[in-house]
């Protein structure tokens, strides 16, 4: 298993491309109303947006759909927080972790969106018959 502290040029370049060469905080739509503690404000905004989007996710009662619908905003919240770490963090290990979070969770969001876009297949019950829910 590779350690997160190892430099991976391909991950680094992909991360830079995904986050637009580390845009400024105002490019994320955050307001400077937090005074000196902009990082804390970005984190609070990220969590509030994630919570709102998860609560308002389109739920169908179908576990696979609902899992993906809830995890997309959850992953986006992690990405937004990781971007804040790249803007304000100094610890190289945590910055590298933030880069990996952005890369992997963006990729996972794309997988979940593709799955949600697919037509739903009828579920099979344990008896092999189509499920009624």
In tens, the pLDDT along 13-28 reads 444 444 444 444 444 5
Q: Count the neighbouring beta carbons within 10 Å of the beta carbon of residue 24.
A: 9
Q: Count the neighbouring beta carbons within 10 Å of the beta carbon of residue 112.
A: 18
Q: Where are the domains of the chain?
A: 37-117
The whole-number pLDDT of residue 119 equals 87
> What CA–CA distance (Å, rounded) separates 98 from 89?
10
Is the CB of residue 50 less than 8 Å from the CB of residue 77? yes
The whole-number pLDDT of residue 9 equals 53
The whole-number pLDDT of residue 23 equals 44
Residues of the chain under the 70 pLDDT cut: 1-36, 122-133
The whole-number pLDDT of residue 94 equals 98
The whole-number pLDDT of residue 6 equals 55
> What CA–CA distance (Å, rounded) separates 96 from 103?
11
The whole-number pLDDT of residue 120 equals 76
- The token duo for 132 is 């009624």
Q: CA distances (Å), 71 to each of 84, 92, 117, in order?
A: 20, 27, 15
């Amino acid at each position: 298993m590779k350690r997160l502290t190892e430099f991976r040029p391909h991950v680094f370049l992909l991360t830079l491309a995904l986050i637009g060469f580390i845009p400024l905080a105002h490019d994320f739509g955050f307001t400077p109303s937090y005074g000196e503690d902009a990082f804390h404000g970005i984190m609070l905004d990220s969590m509030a947006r994630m919570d709102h989007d998860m609560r308002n996710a389109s739920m169908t009662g179908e576990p696979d759909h609902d899992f993906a619908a809830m995890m997309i905003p959850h992953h986006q919240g992690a990405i937004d927080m990781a971007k804040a770490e790249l803007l304000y963090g100094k610890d190289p290990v945590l910055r590298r972790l933030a880069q990996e979070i952005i890369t992997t969770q963006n990729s996972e969001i794309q997988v979940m969106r593709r799955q949600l876009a697919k037509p739903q297949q009828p579920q099979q019950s344990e008896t092999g018959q189509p499920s009624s829910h």
